Amino acid sequence: MTTTIPQVPVNPQDPTSNPTSTPAEQMHSIGQPLPRIDGLAKVTGQAIYSFDHALPDMVFGTILSATIPHGQVVRVDHRRALALPGVLRVYSCENQPPTPPRVEGGAPYIWFDREIRYDGQDVAMVVATTQAIADEAVGLITVDVAPAPFVATVRAAMAPDAPQAGETPNVEDPGSPYGEPAQYTRGDVAAGLLEAAVTITAAYDLPSQIHNPWEAHVTLATWDGDCVTVYDSVQYPIGARNFIANALGIPSEQVRVIAEYVGGGFGSKLSTKTQAPLAALAARHLERPVRVRLTRAQMHRNARHRPQTLHHLRLGATSAGILTAIDHEVWSGGAPKAQYYESAASTSRYLYACPNLRSAHWRVRVNQNPPGSMRAPGEQQSQFALECALDELAHALRIDPITLRQRNQASTHAVSGKPFSRNSIPTLLDLGSQRIGWDQRAQPPGSQRDGALWRGIGCAVAFYPLHMARAEGRVRLQADGSVLVESSGVDLGTGTYTILAQAAADGLGTTPADITVHLGDTTLPVAPIAGGSMLAASVTPAVYSAALDARQQLIDAALDLPDGLFAGCSASDLVIGAGRVTHRRDAGRAITFAELLRLRGTTEIVGQCNFAADDLPMEYGNFGAHFAEVTVDVETGIVRVPRFVAVHDSGRVLNPTTYRSQIRGGIIWGLSAVLLEASHMDGHRGRITNANLVEYLVPTALDIGEIDVTWLDEPDAGANALGMKSAGEVGITGAAPAIANAIFNATGLRLRHPPFQPPRVLMALRAAGITA
Amino acid sequence: MSQVSEVPESGRSGSTPVPPTLTVPIQLRVNGQIHTIQVEPRTTLVDALRTHLGMTGTKLVCGQGACGACTVLLDGERVTACIILAIMCDGREVKTIEGLALPDGTPHPLQAAFVRHDALQCGFCTPGQIMSAVAFLRDHPEPTIDEIRAGMAGNLCRCAAYIGIREAVADAAKQMRASTATSGAATLAQDAGEMS
C-alpha cells in the first residue's frame, strides 16, 4: 500500500512564494492516479512501434559484425552473398558511397571503417527481400582481415605492458568533455585522513552491463523525393534526425524521424545507431522502403553498454562520525576514438558535507564497443561505491549507518556552491527506517539465522540531480472540439503521454479525456532527450504553460464575442470542456470551439510556451532512502530480497500510478545490477561471451518480493512552474548498495564485486568458513 | 505436411524481380480466421504472424524462446512463437493478442486489469505477458501470488512492471471467476481461448 507522508521540512531559503509555482487548488488532474492513456493500445497489440511499421515493397537489411577485436579489413568479397536469390545489394568498405561533406562541418561519416577497433563493429550490410535471406547472406560474405594486438578488459589495459587499444594511451584523464572536470579536489584529503579517528579503504569492481531494451534498435526508412521519413526506435528523435542528415550529407529539414511508441531505451537509444543511416542510404539506392534491425547479439556487442568501473575509496571521520575526508577514484572502460567516460565518482563530490575531498576519473580504453549512458550513468555506480563505503565506515565507527548519513547532511552543493532547495535525506531515512523495522536488523551482523537462511537489512541513499533543458509546449484548440498537445519528445514507457494530458487538462481547465497527445515526431515542437530524467521536468511545465496560454486566448475570445453571449461575465465564470466554452452556472450559455473560431475568422487557437531551463539559483535533487531486507542461503549462495522499502522526494508527483511504476522499475534495475547482470568479456578472444538473453541474466517474476514505495508529495516550487522533478533514474541509485549492505548485515561479509550470483556468494562464504 | 512447390514468395511483389524461393503453403487458423500463406520452411511462427499476416501485436525480442515476448496460444497452449516454425502450425489454431478482446471491442479482463494496475511501461512484453496469463489462469483459476510469480516467470519485463503484472493477474482471476459465476458460457469460452 502506498501512503503519502506529511510534508518535509524545507530549507528556509526555499522560495515558496515563487510566483511561477502553481497553487494546488488549480490542480484537478495533476496528482491523480490516472491510468496511462496509451495503456489500452498497448494491451490490445494496437500500439504500432517502429519495429511494427511495414510499407509496401519493404526490404530488409542485416549487418555483418566483425569477429576480431582489433585489426584491418583487407578485403570483403560480396560475390557469394550477391549470388543468393533475393539479395539486392551488399555494402561494405569496398563499395561504400562517397559521403558528401557534412552540412554542419566536420569529418565525413564513415559507413564501414577498414580499421576494426572492436568485436561487433559493422563490417558490411546485406539488403534482401526477406529478413531471413539477409540474415543468411551475411554469412556468405568473406572478410579477409589482418588482426592486430588487442586488449579487451579494463584490468588488462591498465597493465604497463598492455597493447594499446587505440591511437592514444589506454589510461587517460578524460578532461571535461561534458562540462564537469574529471578531476576534482577541495581542501586537503591527506590532512583530512590524518585528522580522522577512523579511516576505511575499500575497492569495488562493478561490471559492464547491457541496456537490453525489449524493442531492438530498428529503423524503417522511406524516401519521397529528396525527403526521407524514418521510423526509428529512439529516445531523441531530433538527435536521430541530425545524425542521419549528417551521415547522408543532406539538410536536417529533409529528414523526418517518427517514434510514436518506443519499446524501452534505458539510455541505449539516446545515441543513433548505425542501422538508421544505413536504412536511409539503402532505401535511397533501392528506391523502396528498407528496414534494418540489430540482432539481440548485436545489441550486446555494438549498441553501447554501461562500462566496467573500478573504484578505490578512502573515507575518514571523527569518532562522532563527522566526515573529514572522501577520496573516490574510478577507472572506467572506454573505447578507441570514443570520448565517453563514466562519471562514477560524481555524487561523492556533493551528496554529503565534507571539507576535504578528491574525486578522480580515468578512462581506460579497451577494444570494446563504445560505452554510453545507461540508466543513471555515473550516479548508479557512484552511489553504489559511496553508500557501501559509508556502511563500512559506520561499522568501523560503531555508529548506526543512518545516523552517520544524517550527521553529514549537505545543505549546499559543494561543487556549484548553490544551496539545495531542500535536502530531505535525513527525513526520508527516518521514515524508511520505521517502515522496514530498522531496529530488527541483525545486531551484530550475521546473528539472524533460520537454518541456512541468514537474514539482514541494509540501507542506502538514492539520489539523482534534476536536469532540465529547452522545450517548447504547444496546445492547439481545434474547430472539431479537439485539443492537441504536441511534442517531439517520446514516451519510453515512463508515462509521458499521460502526464502531458493531465498537465494540459489542468492548464486549460478541462479533463484529460478532452486531450489528444501526439509525441515522437520531429515535425512537432522541440523537446530534449528522454534521458537524464529530463524530459518530463522540461516538457510538462512547457505544456502546462502553453495550455494556460491557450485558455487565456479562448476565454478572451469568448468574453469578446460580438453577440454578447458572455456579456458581463468574467473569466472565472467560464468553463472549458468537451469542445465548448460554457457559463459555469448557466449551461444554456455555451459556444463550441468551432463556432467561436468561425466567428473569430480563424481555424484554431494555439497556446505556446518556450521553456528555457534557465540557470537556477538553487540545486534541486531527487532524493530517496532505500531499505532492503535480504536472505542469504549459506548452503546455496542464493540471495533473495523478500522486502524492499523506498521513501522518495521528487517534488510534486504528477501521477502516482506512473511515478510508482518508475520508482519500482528503478529499484528492480538496482536489484538486477547487484545480483544478476554482467556482460562477460573474454579477454583472450576480445569477445562478449553472453551476448543473448539466455546467458545475460535479468530478473524474472520470481526474483521480485514486496516493494513498498512511498513519497513526500511536496512541490519544490522554484524548480519549474509545476514544482516537479523526475523519477526515471533515482530509483536505481540506492537499491544496489542497500542490498549489498543488507548482505553484510546478514552475513558479516563485505562483497565488493557484483553481481552477487550464487557461485560468487558461495565462494565468499566458504572462504570465510561459513557453511550451512 | 503440405506439398512443397517452387513459387514466388507471397506478398513480395515489387519493383525488384522476386526470385523463386522454396516455399510451402500452410493454413493457419488465427483467432478463428483461416489464412493460407506461402512460407519458407525456416519461417518462424512469429515472422508468419508479423510479416506475412501483418499482425504485429505479437512481439519479437530475444529470438531464443527465453523472454516470452512472442507468447501466443497454439491449440490453447502457451508457445514462444520465435522458436516454432510456421510449418509446424499448419492446420492448427493460433490465438494472439489481437483476438483477445470481444468482437465489440470490450477488452478481455486481463487486458483491462493490466491497464488498471499499470502492469506495463514500454508495453513491448505486454502482449506476451497477457497471452501467457490467459493460459495460466485457465489452468489456475484461483491462483495465489506465489503461483502467479512461478506461473508467469517465463515472461520477462525489462521495465520491471512485475508487481503490477502479478496484481493484474490476481485481479483478473477474481473478475473472471465472478463473471463466470454470473454470465456463464460466453466468458468461459473466451477464457479458454476458444472463442473466435
pLDDT in tens, B65-88: 999 999 999 999 999 999 999 999
Q: Which of A342, A387, A714, A729 is catalytic?
A: A729
Structural domains in chain A plus CATH codes: 21-47+469-611 (3.30.365.10), 51-149+217-293 (3.30.365.10), 309-467+617-767 (3.30.365.10)
Mean pLDDT confidence for A357-371:
98
Co-location of B131 and B86 in the same domain: no
**Do residue B148 and residue A56 have CB atoms under 8 angstroms apart?**
no
**Do residue B118 and residue A700 have CB atoms under 8 angstroms apart?**
no
**Do residue B62 and residue A213 have CB atoms under 8 angstroms apart?**
no
Nearest Cα residue in chain A from B61: A214
**Pairing outcome for strands A115-116 and A71-77:** antiparallel
The answer to whether residue B17 neighbours chain A at the CB level (below 8 Å) is no
Query: Looking at B45, B75, B97, which one is the last position of a domain?
Result: B97
Distance, in Å, from the CA atom of A399 to the CA atom of A627, rounded to the nearest integer, reads: 17
Mean pLDDT confidence for A571-585:
92
**Do residue B16 and residue A286 have CB atoms under 8 angstroms apart?**
yes
Q: Which residues of A touch B110 (CB under 8 A)?
A: 43
DSSP character string of A714-744? ---TTTSTT-B---TTHHHHHHHHHHHHHHH
Q: What pLDDT does B183 receive?
A: 62
Q: What pLDDT does A7 receive?
A: 40
Q: What pLDDT does B184 receive?
A: 52
Q: Which candidate in B46, B163, B166, B167 is best for mutational testing of the A interface (most A CBs within 10 A)? A: B163
Residue B46 has pLDDT above 70, yes or no: yes
Residue B196 lies in a domain: no
Mean pLDDT confidence for A412-437:
97
Shortest Cα distance, chain A CAs vs residue B133, angstroms: 12
Residue B54 lies in a domain: yes
Shortest Cα distance, chain B CAs vs residue A187, angstroms: 42
Q: Which residues pair with B36 in a beta bridge?
A: B27
Mean pLDDT confidence for A525-545:
96
Q: What pLDDT does B195 receive?
A: 38
Strand order in the sheet with A255-258: A87-92, A122-128, A59-65, A290-293, A218-224, A227-232, A255-258
Q: What is the mean pLDDT of chain B?
A: 87
Shortest Cα distance, chain B CAs vs residue A214, angstroms: 6
Co-location of B44 and B93 in the same domain: yes
Co-location of B143 and B169 in the same domain: yes
**Do residue A131 and residue B51 have CB atoms under 8 angstroms apart?**
yes
What cell numbers appear for B131 in the block? 497471452
The answer to whether residue B174 neighbours chain A at the CB level (below 8 Å) is no
Mean pLDDT confidence for A565-571:
91
Better-scored residue on pLDDT, B17 or A366: A366
Nearest Cα residue in chain B from A491: B122
What cell numbers appear for A620 in the block? 534541486
The answer to whether residue B166 neighbours chain A at the CB level (below 8 Å) is yes
Q: Which residues of A touch B49 (CB under 8 A)?
A: none
Inter-chain CB pairs, A–B, below 8 Å: 197
Nearest Cα residue in chain A from B21: A85
| Residue percentage of chain A with pLDDT more than 70 | 96
Q: What pLDDT does A105 receive?
A: 65
Residue B41 lies in a domain: yes
Q: What pLDDT does B112 receive?
A: 98
**Do residue B54 and residue A261 have CB atoms under 8 angstroms apart?**
no
Shortest Cα distance, chain B CAs vs residue A45, angstroms: 4
Q: What pLDDT does A352 receive?
A: 98
pLDDT tens column, A292-329: 999 999 999 999 999 999 999 999 999 999 999 999 99
Of B101, B127, B149, the CB nearest to A702: B149
Nearest Cα residue in chain A from B124: A263
Mean pLDDT confidence for A424-441:
98
pLDDT band for position A55 (50/70/90)?
very high
Co-location of B74 and B139 in the same domain: no
- Are residues B81 and B121 in contact, defined by beta-carbon separation less than 8 angstroms? no
Torsion angle, alpha carbons of A216, A305, A119, A213, to 10: -10
Torsion angle, alpha carbons of A626, A629, A635, A637, to 10: -20
Q: Which residues of B touch A654 (CB under 8 A)?
A: none
Q: Domain with B132 in it: what CATH number?
A: 1.10.150.120
pLDDT tens column, A172-196: 999 998 889 999 999 999 999 999 9
- Which DSSP category does B44 fall into? B
Residue A112 has pLDDT above 80, yes or no: yes
pLDDT band for position A722 (50/70/90)?
very high
Phi first, then psi, for residue A51 (nearest 5°) are: -65, -20
Nearest Cα residue in chain B from A57: B14
Co-location of B121 and B161 in the same domain: yes
**Do residue B123 and residue A493 have CB atoms under 8 angstroms apart?**
yes
Query: Looking at B57, B75, B97, which one is the last position of a domain?
Result: B97
The answer to whether residue B189 neighbours chain A at the CB level (below 8 Å) is no
Distance, in Å, from the CA atom of A455 to the CA atom of B125, rounded to the nearest integer, reads: 33
- Are residues A27 and A653 in contact, defined by beta-carbon separation less than 8 angstroms? no
Lookup result for grid cell 554482467: A678
Distance, in Å, from the CA atom of A250 to the CA atom of A235, rounded to the nearest integer, reads: 22
Better-scored residue on pLDDT, B20 or A665: A665
**Pairing outcome for strands A87-92 and A621-633:** unpaired
**Do residue B123 and residue A129 have CB atoms under 8 angstroms apart?**
no
Residue B102 lies in a domain: no
- Are residues A632 and A504 in contact, defined by beta-carbon separation less than 8 angstroms? no
Q: Which runs of E-coded beta strand occur in A129-188? A: 142-147, 171-172, 183-186
Co-location of B18 and B78 in the same domain: yes
Co-location of B27 and B92 in the same domain: yes
Strand order in the sheet with A115-116: A115-116, A71-77, A142-147
Q: Which residues of A touch B13 (CB under 8 A)?
A: 57
Report the domain count for chain B: 2
Q: What pLDDT does A62 receive?
A: 98
Q: What pLDDT does A13 receive?
A: 35
Q: What pLDDT does A19 receive?
A: 36
What cell numbers appear for A210 in the block? 547491457
Shortest Cα distance, chain A CAs vs residue B137, angstroms: 16
Nearest Cα residue in chain B from A657: B118
With vertex at residue A755, the alpha carbon angle to CA A753 and CA A760, rounded to the nearest 5 degrees, is 70
Helices B109-116 and B126-139 cross at an angle (nearest 10°) of 120
Co-location of B78 and B26 in the same domain: yes
Other beta carbons less than 10 A from residue B18's beta carbon = 16
Mean pLDDT confidence for A452-476:
97
Query: How far is C-alpha B100 from the geometric centre of its chain's CA atoms?
Result: 9
pLDDT tens column, A727-749: 999 999 999 999 999 999 999 99
Co-location of B63 and B122 in the same domain: no
Q: What pLDDT does A555 receive?
A: 94
Co-location of B80 and B161 in the same domain: no
Residue B15 lies in a domain: yes
Q: What is the mean pLDDT of chain A?
A: 94
Q: What pLDDT does A3 receive?
A: 40
Residue A131 has pLDDT above 90, yes or no: yes
Residue B23 lies in a domain: yes
Q: What pLDDT does A22 receive?
A: 55
Of B123, B156, B166, the CB nearest to A42: B123
Lookup result for grid cell 485558455: A551
The pTM of the whole model exceeds 0.80: yes
Q: Which residues of B touch A82 (CB under 8 A)?
A: none
Q: What pLDDT does A17 receive?
A: 32
Query: Residue B130 sits in which domain range?
Result: 109-191
What cell numbers appear for B43 in the block? 519461417
* Catalytic status, residue A695: no
Co-location of B12 and B92 in the same domain: yes
Residue A9 has pLDDT above 80, yes or no: no
Q: What pLDDT does A143 receive?
A: 98
User: What stretches of A645-692 show up as alpha helix (H) in DSSP?
Assistant: 656-675
Q: Which of A626, A633, A630, A651 is closest to A641 using CA atoms? A: A630
Shortest Cα distance, chain B CAs vs residue A405, angstroms: 29
**Do residue B162 and residue A699 have CB atoms under 8 angstroms apart?**
yes
Query: Looking at B97, B127, B143, which one is the last position of a domain?
Result: B97
Residue A381 has pLDDT above 50, yes or no: yes
**Do residue A263 and residue B149 have CB atoms under 8 angstroms apart?**
no
Mean pLDDT confidence for A46-60:
98
Of A44, A263, A701, the CB nearest to B97: A44
Lookup result for grid cell 483459476: B141
pLDDT band for position A107 (50/70/90)?
confident
Co-location of B18 and B81 in the same domain: yes
Cβ under 8 Å to A: B residues 48-67: 50-51, 54-64, 66-67
pLDDT band for position A644 (50/70/90)?
very high
pLDDT tens column, B87-116: 999 999 999 999 999 999 999 999 999 999
- Are residues B40 and B48 in contact, defined by beta-carbon separation less than 8 angstroms? no
Lookup result for grid cell 473560431: A597
- Are residues A361 and A342 in contact, defined by beta-carbon separation less than 8 angstroms? yes
Q: Which residues of B touch A263 (CB under 8 A)?
A: 59, 122-124
Q: What pLDDT does B2 receive?
A: 36
Shortest Cα distance, chain B CAs vs residue A694, angstroms: 6
Residue B103 lies in a domain: no
The answer to whether residue B78 neighbours chain A at the CB level (below 8 Å) is no
**Do residue A693 and residue B66 have CB atoms under 8 angstroms apart?**
yes
Residue B183 falls in which region: left (phi positive, over 0), alpha (psi -120 to 50) or beta = alpha
Q: What pLDDT does B16 receive?
A: 47
**Do residue A44 and residue B107 have CB atoms under 8 angstroms apart?**
yes
Residue A365 has pLDDT above 70, yes or no: yes
Q: Domain with B79 in it: what CATH number?
A: 3.10.20.30
Q: Tell me the three state secondary structure of residue A563.
A: coil
Q: What pLDDT does B193 receive?
A: 47
pLDDT tens column, B112-139: 999 999 999 999 999 999 999 999 999 9
